[in-house]
Copies of this chain bind each other. A is one copy, B any other.
């Protein structure tokens, strides 16, 4: 680590499942030379939420408030559920005016994807899908790829990533890189919080969703005119689900083959992104270039939010 960043914690969704993990995450970030603020959000609790809807919305609106100095990084503590009620409450105009193109990286995944959708659709603000305080920085074992690619992304104008992409034909394409949690994306279709991105590179992941539900959500994006309008679908991690005897040979591979057959766009497997430990840090709304050759995918992107380098 050469840079030292100001990291402000935000808690738009659930309260900490594991306070220990949160403290471990803070300790790791501080040990790496960063300053962590906003720790008070860790103590907030209202029902299953990290505070009332108003408190959680205020975490985001603080980025629009000229009286609040901007941090380098706004880091979501965890996902869960809680972003959706906030969507009509945010001051998108002021957030956009202050954050569009600003050297501030808002980072998270899972439920956080709903905010990323809304911030891009309504404010034109590019955010990052990536690690969160508890599950990632606070994991019992810190994942090396997650840690390194996060700092690499923040420190680099042009970011590179590659991974094994089985079952994918050779291809090269480019477009707006966007996506995140599939249930969050599908769950905003048809609303003003869903961005109108055409010709994009859409990445998706989810947790505890069996293959038939993944297929159903991808059909939703297809029926809503979203999936077929993209250049490619990048398939991240789908974890913690079970198939049953009733599935009768139907599994995630079959579901993705069925979608590929009707969507008419390349489906690229193996993206390290999701609820598994190893995850790339990826922009929601920045230009990317994707190539697949001999079962290996390479992704390059630029134009993502980056803190100022001192």
Contacts and interface: CB of A to CB of B under 8 A. Distances in A.
B223 A192 contact: yes
Contacts of A250: 47-49
Nearest to A84: B219
Contacts of A194: 190
A31 interface: no
Contacts of A262: 85, 88
Contacts of A192: 223
A40 interface: no
Given A81-B212, A191-B189, A223 B87 contact: yes
Given A219-B85, A246-B17, A190 B190 contact: yes
A256 interface: no
Contacts of A112: none
Given A250-B47, A250-B48, A254-B47, A88 B223 contact: yes
A220 B191 contact: yes
A187 B186 contact: yes
A247 B212 contact: no
Copies in the assembly, this chain: 2
Contacts of A212: 48, 80-81
A255 to B, nearest CB: 9
A223 B188 contact: yes
Interface in A113-161: none
Nearest to A249: B47
Contacts of A217: 187
A260 to B, nearest CB: 13
Nearest to A247: B48
A194 B189 CA distance: 12
A249 B193 CA distance: 29
26 contacts: A15-B248, A17-B246, A47-B248, A47-B249, A47-B250, A48-B212, A48-B246, A81-B213, A84-B219, A84-B220, A84-B223, A85-B215, A85-B219, A87-B219, A87-B223, A88-B223, A186-B187, A187-B216, A187-B220, A188-B220, A189-B189, A190-B190, A190-B225, A191-B220, A191-B223, A192-B223
Interface of A: 14-15, 17, 45, 47-49, 80-81, 84-85, 87-88, 186-194, 212-213, 215-217, 219-220, 223-225, 246-250, 254, 258, 262
User: What are the nearest 3 A-B pairs in CB distance?
Assistant: A190-B190, A191-B223, A47-B250
